[in-house]
């Protein structure tokens, strides 16, 4: 268990045992990055480590955490708003991978790995047609297994964007895009891989469903099974599912599944023993349709086929990577993209730009639908409803207890009754047959790629009667949910807008407490820029807890659009263009400084002790262990009172850094006062009560008048804003100053 500085202080000096009149005075200049609090007593100083906390058995088996696609993990007992901050939290290690990671990483604890025992495992799929099983906690164990579905020696490769009419939608190769799904009862991971295969009779584009043993990576149930095979050359033709229809690309009144044209971007759904897979297109290159096909999870036999536009075209199911959602009744919900909309056809309607409720009692069929009144305008302007995912909400009080929420490129958030989706109303604006339409895009500013501000290329998240949403060019917003209706405007919002494509939020919480919203900023993906992991307080989105671009050592590799972070058991897993990054609470070392010899004795979490000579035995040097170079590791540093010089041994490069900062009688102190992820050099002058802070972010001097000669310095992040606050403990019983920091005013 990791304790806040306030909690530690309260524990050390309970109110009933403090000297009479003792007052804790909090400055208002923020946050302590120093995690190894050093105090000198006698011949040594000890740096203490936090206690360990045991998390519940959390697991992430499917896209956005559950079949409802809420994005919430309510079993997170380690990560909390009071311990997720630069320095305390950061990138622990990364695993290299062989391709872009569009699929959300999945997590299973306590997997029995042959020869390695029971391990927590994170699973990653890449566009290079690979699936990895990495150790979730110990980088020394690396990958437990790795399978690749290509074989260049035998002409089997991933697909080039040129093969799909030069679509730049997914580059530089196409292999596995959709998030797999795991059946933890049978220990099986299901994944769809797409390959290009050069054979004697021509070129084949093949999509297969693989069922892999999560412990070994071996194929199960006689897999893989071929979903579709589109061939060119001597053996040209389609092999795979087909439905009756005369729509785009039909042959002989049949619409065939084209394994080249169709793209499984959507996450897979495992529901009642059936694996459901959805498809759309590559960059809207026709002919294509929306498909939903089901396979028995044990036999891998095809058991259901559904086409959204058999007598028309388009209507893909892609939802920016979100998987089809499902409720407790076994109904499936998807949102479709631009395409033909015609429900007058009695036998085979077409459902472009619609939310569909699909019955699974006998195959897959439409039980109900909702289509916006301006569907034709949406389709003609490429403002499809299906750019965002669907979230099934928990039961609500009021007239509409069973709700779902979704949003599309137009920037409207739709709250829909699952018992009566509303179908299509022809009466004009503001008459959609839904519970509520809320306009997004009300906080941020600026047009992005000609898309309407606030448009959705993401899936909202739900937590504790709030819906979290971040559209294109906008900030993260939380809408309240009360009596079956959303608040008309956000009840909380962040301060950092993301460009295209916005973000899909993920929530970690311990039940209803300690909730954090995790988002990935991927708007630099087009230029090869880095992804940025953000963490915000779920109750107050204006309070940013962490950003991976603050500490240089935490920076991520290249961004992948639509990527979603996975949070489980104290770790956050992020896929990039070339790696899986693992974030968590930084391990704390135990360190002793011996003034008599000028030596440091450091025992890191690995247990291998380090002895380091760094200090002068006769100079009165004092230890100041902190992360001055922002690499996530504390640096050995001493302050020499006789000269006012700081001697810092940087862990990042082993170099000596000398800083002249202080005068005779000054008290050295350190903390991240400017919030840049690096500890700042600072001194307190008891004779004047002034703090002199040398900010590492810009080299500027910051002076704060706060304290008296006998005060005890206790800087720390007392207001949780990511910066150290100047603070002191006044033990003089005759004096009771009013605190100035945080919510207080006055001067000590």
Asked if residue 338 has pLDDT above 50, the reply is yes
Query: Is residue 415 assigned to a domain?
Result: yes
**pLDDT 10s digits, 443-488:** 544 433 334 567 999 999 999 999 999 999 999 999 999 999 999 9
DSSP string over 46-88: EPPPPPP-PPP---B-SGGGSTT---EETB--S--TTT-SBTT
pLDDT digits (tens, 9 = 90+) for 516-575: 999 999 999 999 999 999 999 999 999 999 999 998 899 999 999 999 999 999 999 999
pLDDT score of 56: 53
Averaged over 94-120, what is the pLDDT? 98
Percentages (nearest 5) of helix, strand, coil residues in the chain: 5, 40, 55
Instruction: Check if the beta carbon of residue 170 is closer than 8 Å to that of residue 102.
Output: yes
Structural domain includes residue 81: yes
pLDDT at residue 433 greater than cutoff 60: yes
Q: Cα 639 to the chain's mean position, in Å?
A: 40
**Whole-number pLDDT of residue 748:** 56
Half-sphere exposure of 727 (CA within 13 A, CB side): 26
Confidence of residue 594 (pLDDT cuts 50, 70, 90): confident
Output the CA–CA distances (angstroms, integers) from residue 175 to 143, 263, 297, 327, in the order listed: 20, 10, 22, 30
Cβ atoms of 175 and 82 within 8 Å: the answer is: no
In terms of domains, do 194 and 290 share one?
yes
* pLDDT higher than 70, residue 166: yes
Strand partners, 213: 188
Contacts of 57 (CB under 8 A, 6+ apart): 75, 109, 110
What mean pLDDT do residues 254-283 have?
98
CATH number of the domain within which 76 lies: 2.140.10.10
Q: How far is CA 402 from CA 23, 63, 328, 394, 435, in A?
A: 52, 21, 11, 7, 11
Same domain, 392 and 373: yes
The conformation of residue 314, written as its DSSP 8-state character, comes to: B
Structure token digits, residue 283: 């960059």
Residues 37-55, mean pLDDT to the nearest whole number: 30
602: β partners: 591, 610
Whats the size of the chain, residue-wise? Answer: 748
Say whether both 9 and 156 belong to one domain: no
Mean pLDDT over 573-585 rounds to 98
Same-domain check for residues 92 and 20: no
Residue 747 lies in a domain: no
Q: Please tell me the distance from the alpha carbon of residue 428 to that of residue 410, in angstroms, as a whole number.
A: 16
Distance, in Å, from the CA atom of 82 to the CA atom of 4, rounded to the nearest integer, reads: 6
Q: Are residues 373 and 475 in the same domain?
A: yes
Read off the pLDDT band of 425 (50, 70, 90). Answer: confident
Domain extent for 21: 5-50+588-730
Most confident of the following: 340-349, 620-629, 677-686: 677-686
Whether 736 is in a domain gets the answer: no
Provide the pLDDT confidence category of residue 744 given band limits of 50, 70 and 90. Answer: very low
Asked if residue 339 has pLDDT above 50, the reply is yes
Give the whole-angstrom CA distance, residue 679 versus residue 699.
Answer: 12
SS (H, E, C) 323-359: CCEECCCCCEEEECCCECEECCCCCCCEECCCEEEEE
Share of the chain above pLDDT 90, in %: 72
* The last residue of a domain, from among 547, 565, 585: 585
Looking at 585, 615, 643, the residue that finishes a domain is 585
679 lies in some domain? yes
245 with 275, same domain: the answer is yes
The count of structural domains within the chain is 2
Torsion (CA) 674, 676, 678, 683 in degrees, nearest 10: -10
3-state secondary structure of 169: coil
Mean pLDDT, residues 123-151 taken together? 98
Q: CB atoms < 10 A from the CB of 222, how many?
A: 9
Q: Are residues 291 and 347 in the same domain?
A: yes
Q: Is the pLDDT of residue 607 over 90?
A: no
Q: Output the pLDDT for position 37.
A: 32
Bridge partner list, 574: 581
Cα-to-chain-centroid distance, residue 51:
26
* Mean pLDDT computed over 4-8: 37
Which range has the top average pLDDT, 155-159, 232-236, 602-606?
155-159
Do 388 and 489 fall into the same domain?
yes
Is residue 5 over pLDDT 70? no
Query: Mean pLDDT throughout 594-623?
Result: 81
Q: Give CA–CA dist 262/242, Å, rounded.
A: 13
* Mean pLDDT of the chain, nearest integer: 87
Determine the pLDDT at residue 720: 67
**Overall average pLDDT of the 121-130 stretch:** 99
φ/ψ of 123, rounded to 5, equals -110, 135
3-state secondary structure of 432: coil
Q: Examine the domain organization and report whether 546 and 484 are in the same domain.
A: yes
Same domain, 435 and 322: yes
Please indicate, yes or no, if residue 56 is contained in any of the structural domains: no
Please check the confidence at residue 4 and state whether its pLDDT lies above 70: no
DSSP for residue 635: B
**Structure-model confidence comparison of residues 521 and 610, the more confident one:** 521
With respect to residue 669, please indicate whether it lies within any of the assigned structural domains.
yes
pLDDT of residue 21: 32
- For residue 679, is pLDDT > 80? yes
Handedness of CA 349, 460, 293, 261 (dihedral sign): positive
Over the stretch 188-233, which tens digit does the pLDDT of each residue have?
999 999 999 999 999 999 999 999 999 999 999 999 999 999 999 9
Q: Is 360 exposed, middle or buried (0-12, 13-18, 19+ CB in 10 A)?
A: buried
CA 721 to chain centre: 20
Same domain (yes/no): 103, 229 = yes
SS3 273: coil
**Quick check: is 738 in a domain?**
no
Sorting pLDDT into bands at 50, 70 and 90, what band is 13? very low
Look at 328-342, 458-472, 498-512, 703-717 and tell me which has the smallest mean pLDDT.
703-717
Strands lying side by side in the sheet with 23-26: 23-26, 727-730, 712-713
pLDDT of the residue at 733: 53
pLDDT at residue 635 in the model: 87
**329: Cβ contacts below 8 Å, ≥ 6 apart:** none
- pLDDT at position 25: 36
pLDDT of 34 reads 32
* Predicted pLDDT of residue 337: 98
Helix (H, G, I), strand (E, B) or coil at 391: strand
Q: 435: closest CA among 409, 403, 461?
A: 403
Same domain, 648 and 501: no
Q: Would you say 698 and 680 are in contact if contact means Cβ atoms under 8 Å apart?
A: no
């Amino acid at each position: 268990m990791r304790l806040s500085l306030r909690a530690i202080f309260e524990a050390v000096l309970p109110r009933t045992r403090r000297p009479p009149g003792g007052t804790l005075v909090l400055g208002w200049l923020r946050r302590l990055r120093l995690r190894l609090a050093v105090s000198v007593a006698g011949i040594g100083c000890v740096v203490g480590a936090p206690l360990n906390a045991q998390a519940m058995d959390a697991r992430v088996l499917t896209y956005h955490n559950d079949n409802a696609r809420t994005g919430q993990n309510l079993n997170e007992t380690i990560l909390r708003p009071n311990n997720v901050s630069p320095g305390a939290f950061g990138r622990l290690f990364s695993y290299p991978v062989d391709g872009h990671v569009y699929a959300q990483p999945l997590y299973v604890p306590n997997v029995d790995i042959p020869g390695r025992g029971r391990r927590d495992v994170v699973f990653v799929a890449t566009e290079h047609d690979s699936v990895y099983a990495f150790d979730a906690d110990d980088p020394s164990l690396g990958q437990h297994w790795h399978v690749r579905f290509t074989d260049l020696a035998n002409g089997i490769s991933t697909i080039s964007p040129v093969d799909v009419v030069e679509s730049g939608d997914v580059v530089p190769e196409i292999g596995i895009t959709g998030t797999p799904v795991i059946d933890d009862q049978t220990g099986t991971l299901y994944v769809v891989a797409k390959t290009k295969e050069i054979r004697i009779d021509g070129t084949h584009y093949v999509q297969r469903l693989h069922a892999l043993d999560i412990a070994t990576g071996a194929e199960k149930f006689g897999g893989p099974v071929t979903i579709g095979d589109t061939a060119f050359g001597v053996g040209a033709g389609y092999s795979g599912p087909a439905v009756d229809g005369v729509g785009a690309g039909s042959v002989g009144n049949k619409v065939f599944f084209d394994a080249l044209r169709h793209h499984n971007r959507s996450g897979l759904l495992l529901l009642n023993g059936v694996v459901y897979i959805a498809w759309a297109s590559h960059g809207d290159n026709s002919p294509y349709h929306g498909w939903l096909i089901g396979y028995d999870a044990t036999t891998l036999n095809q058991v259901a086929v559904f086409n959204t536009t058999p007598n028309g075209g388009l209507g893909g199911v892609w939802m920016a990577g979100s998987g089809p959602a499902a409720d407790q009744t076994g109904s499936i919900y998807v949102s479709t993209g631009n395409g033909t909309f015609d429900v007058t056809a009695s036998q085979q309607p077409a459902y472009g730009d619609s939310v569909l409720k699909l019955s699974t009692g006998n195959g897959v069929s439409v039980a109900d639908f909702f289509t916006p009144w301006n569907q034709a305008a949406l389709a003609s302007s490429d403002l499809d409803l299906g750019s965002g995912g669907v979230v099934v909400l928990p039961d609500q009080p009021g007239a509409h207890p069973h709700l779902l929420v979704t949003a599309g490129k137009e920037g409207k958030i739709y709250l829909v009754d699952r018992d009566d989706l509303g179908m299509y109303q022809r009466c004009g604006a503001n008459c959609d047959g839904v519970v509520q339409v809320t306009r997004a895009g009300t906080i941020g500013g600026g047009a992005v790629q000609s898309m309407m501000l606030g448009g959705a290329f993401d899936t909202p998240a739900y937590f504790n009667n709030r819906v979290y949403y971040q559209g294109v060019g906008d900030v993260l917003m939380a809408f309240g949910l009360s009596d079956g209706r959303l608040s008309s405007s956000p009840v909380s919002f962040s301060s950092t807008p993301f460009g295209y494509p916005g973000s899909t939020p993920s929530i970690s919480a311990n039940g209803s407490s300690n909730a954090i919203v995790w988002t990935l900023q991927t708007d630099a993906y087009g230029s090869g820029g880095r992804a940025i992991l953000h963490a915000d307080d779920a109750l107050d989105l204006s309070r940013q807890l962490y950003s991976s671009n603050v500490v240089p050592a935490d920076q991520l590799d290249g961004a992948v659009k639509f990527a979603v972070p996975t949070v489980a058991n104290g770790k956050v897993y992020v896929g990039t263009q070339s790696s899986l990054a693992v974030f968590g609470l930084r391990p704390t070392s135990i360190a002793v400084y011996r003034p008599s010899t000028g030596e440091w004795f450091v025992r890191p979490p690995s247990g291998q002790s380090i002895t380091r000579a760094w200090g002068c035995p006769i100079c009165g040097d004092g230890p100041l262990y902190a992360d001055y170079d922002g690499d996530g590791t504390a640096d050995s540093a001493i302050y020499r009172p006789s000269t006012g010089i700081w001697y810092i041994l940087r862990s990042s490069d082993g170099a000596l850094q000398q800083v002249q900062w202080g005068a005779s009688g000054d008290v050295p102190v350190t903390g991240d006062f400017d919030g840049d992820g690096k500890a700042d050099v600072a001194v307190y002058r008891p004779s004047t009560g002034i703090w002199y802070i040398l900010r590492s972010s810009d080299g500027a001097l910051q002076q704060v008048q706060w304290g008296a000669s006998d005060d005890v310095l206790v800087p720390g992040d007392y207001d949780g804003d990511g910066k150290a606050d100047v603070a002191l403990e006044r033990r003089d019983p005759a004096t009771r100053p009013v605190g100035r920091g945080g919510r207080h005013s006055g001067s000590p």
